[in-house]
């Protein structure tokens, strides 16, 4: 498995292999507003700022001979919790819960579970990883460079390309000049033929929001000598606002604890 794809594949592709679907009760949404983030002069950035997100749709995962799809639910409580579940034919297979200090995943089909910290993910990916970075990638928000790092900005058609180094990686983000929303994020390793590309499309403005969200999120992980990893989320419903959501997570008795993600 491409190590760059592990993080999102664990949250997206793994769900595509099984997962849980439950009909969510519609909740009233409160208006949201754009959040100003550190950005180079002249760069238009519009990040989400809602308190909660409640979405559902379908996810497809492809890698080598593996081609699977399922329904998924995504719930986000900003800066606090990310909850993902997926199902096939209404049967729960995988559920994940991320908080600022832990990553938890339960695989009901294999009767296994994983509990780890972001230090493990940082070691796995070879670059510091934090909850807010995962949240930004899922929501299509701009990732500002570390303090002291000056990005380069270049116009590309209707977008602006922002590039900066992060440890041994190069991060490239394409932002729409009209909306300020991220259109694509690419993470590549300087000394190895590895990359992860996240593309955002089908932008719509759901009720309660004042900026568009990507209803299609595509992830492509590439590594020399290994099959390409493809995972695509297609939302068919998104609600945002301040309504409270539940984030249930438990590990059934008898499940085996895994110490690593992926195989």
Q: pLDDT tens digits, residue range 213-244?
A: 999 999 888 877 888 888 899 999 999 987 78
161 in a structural domain = yes
85 and 22 in contact (C-beta within 8 Å)? yes
- Those residues whose C-beta lies under 8 Å from the C-beta of residue 41, and which sit 6 or more positions away, are none
Cβ neighbors of 147 (< 8 A, separation 6 or more) are: none
Alpha carbon distances (Å) from 99 to 10, 82, 242, 261: 15, 7, 18, 17
Q: Does 118 reside within a domain?
A: yes
Q: Does residue 29 belong to any structural domain of this protein?
A: no
Domains: count for the chain: 1
Q: What percent of the chain has pLDDT over 70?
A: 80
Q: Is residue 114 part of a domain?
A: yes
Residue 180 included in any domain: yes
User: Tell me, what DSSP letter sits at residue 223?
Assistant: E
Count, residues in the chain:
263
| Token pair listed for 47 | 């990040």
Q: Rounded to whole angstroms, how far apart are CA atoms 81 and 245?
A: 10
Beta partners for residue 115, in sequence order: 104
Q: Give the mean pLDDT of 10-25.
A: 35
What confidence score (pLDDT) does residue 228 get?
85
For 165, the token pair is: 């180094």
Q: Round to whole Å and give the CA distance between 11 and 114.
A: 12
The CATH number linked to 105 is 2.50.20.10
pLDDT in tens, 156-207: 989 999 999 887 788 999 999 999 999 999 988 777 777 888 999 999 998 8
Domain range holding 85? 3-23+34-242
Give domain status of residue 192, yes or no. yes
Phi and psi at residue 85, to the nearest 5°: -145, 155
């Amino acid at each position: 498995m491409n190590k760059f794809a592990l993080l999102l594949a664990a949250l997206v592709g793994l769900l595509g292999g099984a997962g849980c679907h439950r009909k969510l009760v519609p909740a009233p949404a409160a208006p949201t507003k754009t959040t100003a983030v550190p950005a180079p002069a002249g760069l238009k950035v519009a990040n989400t700022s809602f308190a909660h997100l409640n979405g559902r749709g379908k996810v497809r995962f492809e890698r080598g001979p593996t081609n699977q799809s399922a329904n998924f639910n995504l719930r986000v409580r900003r800066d606090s919790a990310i909850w993902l579940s997926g199902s096939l034919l209404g049967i729960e297979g995988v559920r994940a819960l991320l908080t600022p200090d832990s990553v938890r995943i339960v695989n009901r089909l294999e009767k296994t579970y994983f509990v780890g910290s972001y230090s493990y993910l940082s070691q796995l990916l070879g670059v510091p990883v934090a909850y807010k970075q995962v949240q930004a990638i899922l929501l299509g928000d701009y990732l500002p460079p570390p303090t002291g790092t000056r990005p380069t900005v270049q116009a590309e058609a209707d977008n602006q390309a922002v590039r900066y180094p992060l440890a041994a990686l190069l991060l490239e983000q394409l932002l729409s000049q009209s909306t300020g929303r991220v259109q694509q994020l690419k993470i590549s390793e300087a000394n190895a033929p590895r990359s992860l590309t996240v593309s955002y499309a089908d932008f719509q403005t759901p009720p309660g929001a004042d900026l568009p969200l990507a209803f299609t999120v595509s992830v492509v992980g590439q590594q020399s000598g290994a099959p390409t990893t493809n995972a695509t989320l297609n939302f068919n419903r998104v609600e945002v606002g301040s309504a409270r959501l539940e984030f249930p997570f438990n590990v059934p008795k008898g499940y085996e604890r895994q110490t690593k993600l992926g195989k």
